[in-house]
Structure 1
Amino acid sequence: MKPRGTQFARPGKAEIEDNTQPRAPLRDLAHPQKYKPNTMEAPQKRAALNRMKVFATGLLVVAAGLFALAKSHHDAGAWAWLTAFSEAAMIGALADWFAVVALFRHPLGLPIPHTAILPANKARVADNLAEFVRDKFLGTEALVDKIARFDPAGRLSVWLTEPGNAALLGEKSLAAISQVLGLINDEHVKNMLYTSLRRRAQDFDLAGGVGALLSTLTADNRHQRLLDDGLTELSEWLEREEVQQMLADKIVQVAGEEYPTLIGALGFMGLKAEDLGRKFAGGLVRGANKWLHEISENPEHERRQAFDRAVGRFIERLKSDPSFKQRIDEHKQQWLERPELRAYVNGLWEEFTGWLREDIARTDSVLRGKIVAAASSLALTLANDASLRDSINTHMHDAMRAVAPDLRDGIARHIATTVRQWDDRTLVRDVELSVGRDLQFIRVNGTIVGGAVGLLIHAISIAVA
């Protein structure tokens, strides 16, 4: 056995350009109009078959004419030899005509036993044909060996490096995507996405998941760093002039509503409520900021410890409190029932397909560019990384070995089922068109060989007389 790293040898350029079919099949697959199988069409086959039938029948007619001519001379002299030849030639021609016709139909329409062999044994022919193709062409080792000798990764690399092939792949991919988009029922997809999302969300333990997430986030006191960030943001927010003005206005508003007499007395004394509000708000901000700085600078501050305890209790309730988990699940269910969720899912799908259609229609399609770039990058990587090529080939080798038994049995069943489903006329027509012309040579040979045997028998009869 070859070492694993060299099991699949990458073909050299000379070998590829010689006759080992790497580029042409791939190119023909990309441009199917360039591939022309070397076979005749059905009308051509029918014409060739008819010509051979006429030729074979003509020989029979000639043999009959010679027989009549010889008999008209009463087998005198050399005419006896012609009689022997033509008589045996007719027998051979008629016997082989019967044999060829009996293969496909009843000769002269007469239900003679053991005629119309092909339609009468269609089921057995179907099974035997399927077994023949399966065993002779689709053997596991034969398929695996084909993959090993073909070197898919190496040939793909060579094909992709040829100018224009990566762009061709991009064009074909976009065309395929466009076809798929045209076949997709948007409403069906939207319903499927929404149903799938709901089912997944309903089965998901939201409380337990959030609890586990928070446990991870609070490991190593990460939540304290979050608290520090929050304190910093709050302190900076309170320092803003517009915030302090807002607080002052709120203080004056509340004081005017709750203590109108006091506000009136302040005005009587010549003091402005707005000025007092600003001073009071400034004092509140300074006091709050001092308190916030104390919490931020002291790792053991009682507010930090209270925050720790509150977070711990909340996480524990998420994980182990059935009633709390039930309330969260109820809220989750209510959210899942909201029409906004369906509208959101529908909007996501419409935005995605809309962008996709617009991008496909553009000459500078982003998706096309990504596909071409990925194909070019893959070609370069495969060309320079022998281990990757060997790995891909090995995986394809193993995959083929795994699927080959099911593949060959499936193809065999398909062949047998297809042949069994053909009506007798179709079966006879297709088989006769394929091999009937060659079978007519049997009639020709039967006529000529039969005549020769007749001459031989006549010679022996004279010799022993």
Structure 2
Amino acid sequence: MSDRALRRMRTTATGLLLAMLALLVASVLGQPHYPWLAWVRAFAEAGTVGAVADWYAVVALFRHPFGIPVPHTAVIPRNQQRIAENLATFVERNFLAPDLVVDRLRTHNSAQSVAAWLAAPGNSRALADPAVDALPALLRVFDDDEVARLIQRGALPGLRALDVSGIAGHLLQILTETQRHQPLLERALTALEAWLADNAGLLQAKFSEASRYTPVRLDAYIVNKFMQGVIALLHEVRTEPEHPLRQQFDDAVRDVILKLRTSDRYRRIGRLWMRDFLRHLEREDSYRALWQRLRDWISADAVRHDSLARAMLADLLASLGASVRDDPALQAGLNEWWLRGVRFTVSRYRHLVSRLIAEVVKGWDADEISRKLELEIGSDLQYIRINGTFVGGMVGVLLHAAMLLIAG
């Protein structure tokens, strides 16, 4: 409620009080000549008493009436410290009780709601974009030597036992499910097409070396025709989404995914490659160079319009959301884990919340808090004054009637 509206309500209530006083005076003066004005007088007397009583009660909440320090007035400013403590205790007991919070949250399937939201591509991209945007600045914070030591002491033991084949298969499956492998194929085809166009002379020279008994012009003609055919084929595959070679590529990728995730042979090969890679790192002390290259790649990729890291993170989040959304058992487990965390957090920190509320309320200026509260509930309080005036008047009429019945 605004100050202006509150002043208007006060004026209305006070004007009604003055009107009752004027009516009382008029009825008293006119009663000797018009006996029926006794009813008006009863109404005006009781209405005036009700209006004055309610005015006093409302004013006493926020300030001393007429500035006179009457006991038990200016209730809110004078009891600010006690109100702060009681408010903090009330919130802690009635809003931050662990059982109450957990029971209220248990009625809602939070895991399903979050997962469904995350599974939407726009939402997962909205999370991935700022995360990838922040990566370059975050990576520059870490010292190269510290990262090298962290990789050597913390990451290597876990990497040695890593199922490289299974992880690679899972990542490829995410790429294929979201059709992210097709842009990668298109990039590779574009790069190959450009390389062939730029190195036609080199290929012709290599062909001439292998075919010493054919004329140079014939070699150039054969290589040129071959190059044109290959480039045309690459262009067709790159520009036609339904090209048969794309279907063959999809079949080959699905076959590789199956082998990566299920084949013991591929699993052994993955572990051997990881072992050799880690041995190379240890032998060459390449942790720092590896970190620098990874950081530079991420920084360069993050600013690209078609950022691979951005797309992969968004797809990973969407895939995670879809998996949880469609798995009730997983949702139940996540909900229980979340509720245990809520119970622990509320039980441990609710006292701090109540203390914060108490300290904040205690620190408020007494006049300011009175003004804010009056603005919030002022209209209702002024309506109480108005209603009290009319209710008092009606009670006065009823009492006058009762007295007449008793006297008669």
- 1:164 deviates by 1.7
Is 1:87 matched with 2:45?
yes
SS of residue in 2 equivalent to 1:364: coil
- 1:101 deviates by 0.8
Judge conservation of contact 2:147–2:291 (CA < 8 Å) in 1. no
> Equivalents in 1 of 2:296, 2:7: separation in Å?
59
Judge conservation of contact 1:92–1:449 (CA < 8 Å) in 2. yes
Matches within 5 A, 1:28-67: 44-67=1-24
Counterpart residue type for residue 357 of structure 2: I
Judge conservation of contact 2:119–2:319 (CA < 8 Å) in 1. no
- 1:379 deviates by 1.6
> Equivalents in 1 of 2:99, 2:62: separation in Å?
36
Matches within 5 A, 1:265-280: none
> Equivalents in 2 of 1:380, 1:407: separation in Å?
33
Q: TM-score, normalised by structure 2?
A: 0.59
- 1:88 deviates by 1.4
SS of residue in 1 equivalent to 2:350: helix
Is 1:378 matched with 2:320?
yes
Deviation string 1:285-304 (CA, Å, 9 cap, x unpaired) is xxxxxxxxxxxxxxxxxxxx
2:116 is aligned to: 158
Alignment CA distance shift 1:349-1:459 (3 Å): farther
Deviation string 1:70-120 (CA, Å, 9 cap, x unpaired) is 123145412122122112111111111111111011111111111111011
> Equivalents in 2 of 1:395, 1:145: separation in Å?
14
Counterpart residue type for residue 140 of structure 1: P
Alignment CA distance shift 1:428-1:194 (3 Å): farther
Counterpart of 2:362 (choices 420, 427, 434) is 420
SS of residue in 2 equivalent to 1:141: helix
Counterpart residue type for residue 385 of structure 2: R
Is 1:408 matched with 2:350?
yes
> Equivalents in 2 of 1:185, 1:160: separation in Å?
26
- Structure 2 unaligned segments of length 5 or more: list them: 154-284
- 1:407 deviates by 3.3
Counterpart of 2:396 (choices 437, 444, 454) is 454
> Equivalents in 1 of 2:296, 2:50: separation in Å?
75
> Equivalents in 2 of 1:383, 1:198: separation in Å?
39
- 1:447 deviates by 0.6
Judge conservation of contact 1:147–1:396 (CA < 8 Å) in 2. no
- 1:62 deviates by 1.7
Alignment CA distance shift 1:70-1:356 (3 Å): farther
> Equivalents in 2 of 1:348, 1:111: separation in Å?
78
Judge conservation of contact 1:190–1:349 (CA < 8 Å) in 2. no
2:222 is aligned to: none
> Equivalents in 2 of 1:421, 1:185: separation in Å?
42
Counterpart residue type for residue 80 of structure 1: A
Alignment CA distance shift 1:432-1:160 (3 Å): same
Aligned residues: 274
> Equivalents in 2 of 1:125, 1:185: separation in Å?
49
- 1:430 deviates by 1.8
Judge conservation of contact 1:105–1:116 (CA < 8 Å) in 2. yes
Counterpart of 2:59 (choices 101, 120, 137) is 101
- Please report the RMSD computed on the Cα atoms of aligned residues, expressed in angstroms: 3.3
- 1:451 deviates by 0.9
Alignment CA distance shift 1:63-1:410 (3 Å): same
Alignment CA distance shift 1:399-1:463 (3 Å): same
Counterpart residue type for residue 125 of structure 1: I
- Structure 1 unaligned segments of length 5 or more: list them: 1-43, 205-340
Point out the more displaced range, 369-378 or 91-100.
369-378
> Equivalents in 2 of 1:364, 1:200: separation in Å?
29
Q: TM-score, normalised by structure 1?
A: 0.52
1:435 is aligned to: 377
Alignment CA distance shift 1:122-1:372 (3 Å): same
Counterpart residue type for residue 72 of structure 2: H
Counterpart residue type for residue 342 of structure 2: M
> Equivalents in 2 of 1:126, 1:157: separation in Å?
40
1:173 is aligned to: 131
> Equivalents in 1 of 2:129, 2:373: separation in Å?
41
1:328 is aligned to: none
- 1:357 deviates by 5.1
- 1:414 deviates by 1.5
- 1:353 deviates by 6.7
SS of residue in 2 equivalent to 1:164: helix
- 1:122 deviates by 0.6
- 1:135 deviates by 1.7
Counterpart residue type for residue 68 of structure 1: V
Alignment CA distance shift 1:393-1:462 (3 Å): same
> Equivalents in 2 of 1:109, 1:185: separation in Å?
64
Counterpart residue type for residue 128 of structure 1: N
> Equivalents in 2 of 1:68, 1:145: separation in Å?
62
- 1:460 deviates by 2.8
Is 1:394 matched with 2:351?
no
> Equivalents in 1 of 2:291, 2:55: separation in Å?
69
> Equivalents in 2 of 1:392, 1:378: separation in Å?
13
Alignment CA distance shift 1:362-1:404 (3 Å): same
1:367 is aligned to: 309
Counterpart residue type for residue 142 of structure 1: L
- 1:431 deviates by 1.4
Alignment CA distance shift 1:367-1:48 (3 Å): farther
Alignment CA distance shift 1:463-1:385 (3 Å): closer
- 1:185 deviates by 12
